Structure 1
Amino acid sequence: MKILLLSDTHGLLDKVYEIYGKLNHIDLIIHCGDYQRDAHTLEDTLGIPIVSVKGNCDGASRPDREIVETPAGKLLITHGHLEGAGYDYNNLLYLAEEKDCIAVCFGHTHVPMCEDFGGIYLINPGSLTNPRDGSNGSYAILHSTEEDFYANIVYYDTVCGSQKKKKPQGGFIRGLLNYSDRF
Structure 2
Amino acid sequence: MTLRILVISDTHGSLSCTEKALKSAGNFDEIWHLGDVLYHGPRNPLPEGYSPKELASLLKKHRVKYIRGNCDADVDIRVLEIPEMPRIGMEFLGDVKILLVHGDQFEYEGGDPVSLAQAHGCSVVLFGHTHVPLAERCEGVLLLNPGSVSLPKSEAGPTFGIIDMDEKKFYLCSLEGDVLKEVMLVERE
Task: Provide TM-score, normalisation by structure 2.
Answer: 0.68
Structure 1 residue 158, shift from structure 2 partner: 5.0
Residue segments in structure 1 that go unaligned for 5+ positions in a row: 160-183
Describe the SS at the equivalent of 1:110.
coil
Closer, same or farther: CA 22–153 of 1 in aligned 2, 3 Å: closer
Closer, same or farther: CA 72–149 of 1 in aligned 2, 3 Å: farther
* Whole-Å separation in 1 of the counterparts to 2:10 and 2:140: 26
Aligned to 1:143: 164
Closer, same or farther: CA 137–22 of 1 in aligned 2, 3 Å: closer
**Quick one: which of 52, 56, 59 aligns to 2:66?**
52
Tell whether 2:106 aligns with 1:83.
yes
> Runs of at least 4 residues of structure 1 off by over 6 A?
none
Identical columns (%): 29
Structure 1 residue 36, shift from structure 2 partner: 5.8
Pair member with larger Rg? 1
Q: Is the 8 A contact 1:72 1:149 kept in 2?
A: no
Tell whether 2:59 aligns with 1:43.
yes
Q: Is the 8 A contact 1:10 1:35 kept in 2?
A: yes
Structure 1 residue 150, shift from structure 2 partner: 2.0
Closer, same or farther: CA 16–82 of 1 in aligned 2, 3 Å: same
Structure 1 residue 40, shift from structure 2 partner: 5.2
**Quick one: which of 132, 147, 152 aligns to 1:111?**
132
Greater helix share, 1 or 2? 1
Supply the AA of the counterpart residue of 2:71: C
**Quick one: which of 9, 23, 32 aligns to 1:30?**
32
Q: Is the 8 A contact 1:113 1:123 kept in 2?
A: yes
Tell whether 2:122 aligns with 1:101.
yes
* Whole-Å separation in 2 of the counterparts to 1:41 and 1:71: 31
* Whole-Å separation in 2 of the counterparts to 1:76 and 1:24: 25
Number of matched pairs? 150
* Whole-Å separation in 1 of the counterparts to 2:66 and 2:134: 19
* Whole-Å separation in 2 of the counterparts to 1:119 and 1:29: 26
* Whole-Å separation in 2 of the counterparts to 1:142 and 1:71: 13
Q: Is the 8 A contact 1:105 1:124 kept in 2?
A: yes
User: Which deviations, in whole Å up to 9, do the C-alpha atoms of 1:24-54 show, x marking residues without a partner?
Assistant: 3312211111126868544313x3x211111
Q: Is the 8 A contact 1:72 1:144 kept in 2?
A: no
* Whole-Å separation in 1 of the counterparts to 2:57 and 2:96: 28
Closer, same or farther: CA 113–106 of 1 in aligned 2, 3 Å: same
